[in-house]
Amino acid sequence: MRMLLTEMRRGEAKWVAGLMGAIGCYYFLSESPAQSDWIGWWTQTSLRVQLFAVIVMGSLMSSAAAWAAGRAHRHQVRIWADTTARSGWTQSLVLWLAAWLWSLIAYGVLTTVAFARTAQVSETGGPVWTPLLLGASMLALQTGVGVALGTALPSRVCAPFAGVLWYGLFVALPFVPTSPLNKLFPAIDEHWDTLFEPNTTRMLVAMAWCLALSLVLPALPALRRSATVRPRPLPLVALGLVALTAGGALVAFRTPVPDSYWAVRKAQPSQAACATSGRTTACLWPEDRHLLPRAEAAVRHVDTGLGTLSGLNRGYYATGLELPRGHTAELPLTSPDMSEEELTDAMFTASLPQPPPECEPHLLKETGGYPDTFLFEAVVRHRLGAPVEYYGDDFGAALERVTTAPRAEQDRWIEASAGHIRACRPVPALLPAPRARP
């Protein structure tokens, strides 16, 4: 214990961990909740902290561990270390544990800061720890690799090489998504929102792999040293078997595409968080209950705009919720802190009927050759008072022919067009152009 505390006090890892803690705090505090895709979702917050810790902090802590492991060689005291009563494995484990503990302290600070930001947005749910534990075990593995490299190759060049090696690995792995290395060296850069939850079994197996390997690697350079400091083979073989078993299980696990390897779909909630106004309903996952007041205001706006129109989708269900029969649609949530205006626009878009997947677009000559669904969307958005895209003068003239017609004729054209679009048929003929006043 005294050796560990001395190494933590005098080693270089504390400076790197402090720097990473400062940079990480700035990173997690500088983002705006309105522009964030994680502030407000507990699982996504855990994934974001894990990702920063593994890719950025883990790479630099690996370099710090390699530098500390080469200290005995640089100071020319390796021969004295070989005469101690402690094995070379024990000496390396002290360096590994000191660097890892400093990284865990910085990791804990970043986790606290990130969870505090999410708690300011969402009071529903709570911290999700499994991805964070996986990130901690990856930090242990990265530190272990640094100690092993620094002990085996005690050169001043080895320390930066360890960090570049890890960072280069994480940059390259997304280009080969089917590689087993993605499973063995996880840095989960995925967006799950509220549809998925961590696959606890796989993450626990990955933690066993990372921790076992992080203990084995520092012992390997000691096998070349004198017999007095050579590690005992029995614990080394036992840890090697644990790492081999866990790593083999990770490679053998399969996941149906396109689901994530590290996540499982949530079961349907017993009661979703729903807002209803008139004929319009929007339902969210219980974890998104903090958005319910804004969703209620958006539903009232949409219901008022659509009025008595039939044929449009009037039920909106967050991604992952089962869609009831009838005119319902998926409601994607792009951010855990969506504004009322963003929710309203998302519901406007979801209200539009969609043609079958195999349906070819029907081009309208009157719109300048644009698909008829473009005109239909523009008409509905004009009715709701939402922004309308401009596609040219011909398109604007066609839109005016519909929007200047009497309200009853507009309603009949919108309702008939909705049915035609769902049946993969062209929309009805445009309403006659209004007569010019004499």
Query: CA angle, 200 as apex, 209 and 96 as ends, to 5°?
Result: 35
Q: Give the span between the Cα atoms of 337 and 90, in whole angstroms.
A: 49
For 327-362, what is each residue's pLDDT tens digit? 999 999 988 999 999 999 999 999 999 999 889 988
In 3D space, the residue among 110, 3, 2, 4 whose CA is nearest the CA of residue 56 turns out to be 110
Check: pTM over 0.75? Answer yes or no. Answer: yes
Cis peptide before 127 (omega within 30 of 0): no
Q: Which two tokens stand for residue 378?
A: 């523009």
The C-alpha atoms of residue 14 and residue 143 are separated, in whole angstroms, by 13
Both tokens of residue 284? 């969210």
Rounded CA separation 69/81 (Å): 12
Q: What is the pLDDT of residue 110?
A: 97
Measure the CA angle with vertex 308, ends 304 and 314; round to 5°.
70
DSSP string spanning 181-244?
Answer: HHHHS-------TTTEEE-HHHHHHHHHHHHHHHHHGGGTGGGGS-TTTPPPHHHHHHHHHHHH
What whole-number distance in Å separates Cα of residue 363 and Cα of residue 369?
5
Half-sphere exposure of 257 (CA within 13 A, CB side): 2
Evaluated on CA atoms 193, 194, 200, 202, the torsion sign reads negative
- Per-residue pLDDT of the chain (438 residues), as tens digits, is 777 888 888 888 899 999 999 999 999 999 988 888 899 999 999 999 999 999 999 999 999 999 988 876 665 555 555 555 466 678 888 899 999 999 999 999 999 999 999 999 988 888 999 999 999 999 999 999 999 999 888 888 888 999 999 999 999 999 998 899 999 999 999 988 788 999 999 999 999 999 999 999 998 887 775 555 566 788 889 999 999 999 999 999 987 777 889 999 999 998 999 999 999 999 999 999 999 999 999 999 999 988 888 889 999 999 999 999 889 999 999 889 999 999 999 999 999 999 998 899 888 888 888 999 999 999 988 888 877 888 888 888 888 888 888 888 888 999 999 999 999 999 888 767 655 444
Are β-strands 315-318 and 328-331 bridged in parallel, bridged antiparallel, or unpaired? Answer: parallel
Q: For residue 370, what is the enclosing H or E element? A: strand 370-371
Say how far apart CA 232 and CA 91 lie, in whole Å: 13
* SS3 state of residue 263: strand
> CB within 8 A of 56, min separation 6: which ones?
20, 23, 24
The predicted-structure confidence for 296-313, as pLDDT tens digits, reads as follows 999 999 999 888 888 899
Contact call for residues 17 and 263 (beta carbons, < 8 A): no
pLDDT in the model for residue 214 = 95
Specify the 3-state DSSP secondary structure of 161: helix
Q: What is the residue extent of each domain of the chain?
A: 2-265, 273-350, 363-422
Residue 22: which of 43, 44, 52 has the closest Cα?
52
- Which residue, among 193, 191, 194, 350, has the nearest Cα to 285 in the 3D structure? 194
pLDDT score recorded for residue 423: 92
Q: What is the pLDDT of residue 87?
A: 65
Q: How far is CA 334 from CA 34, 191, 197, 396, 409, in A?
A: 10, 10, 17, 30, 36
C-alpha 43, offset from chain centre: 8
Nearest to 422 by CA among 362, 353, 371, 358: 353
Tokens of 421: 């679009």
pLDDT, position 436: 47
CA angle 294, 265, 104 (to 5 degrees): 85
Helix, strand or coil, per DSSP, at residue 364: strand
> What does R_g of the chain's alpha carbons equal in angstroms?
30
Q: What's residue 35's pLDDT? A: 86
Between CA 226 and CA 82 the distance in angstroms is: 7
Q: Based on DSSP, count helices (H) and strands (E) in the chain, helices before strands.
A: 17, 8
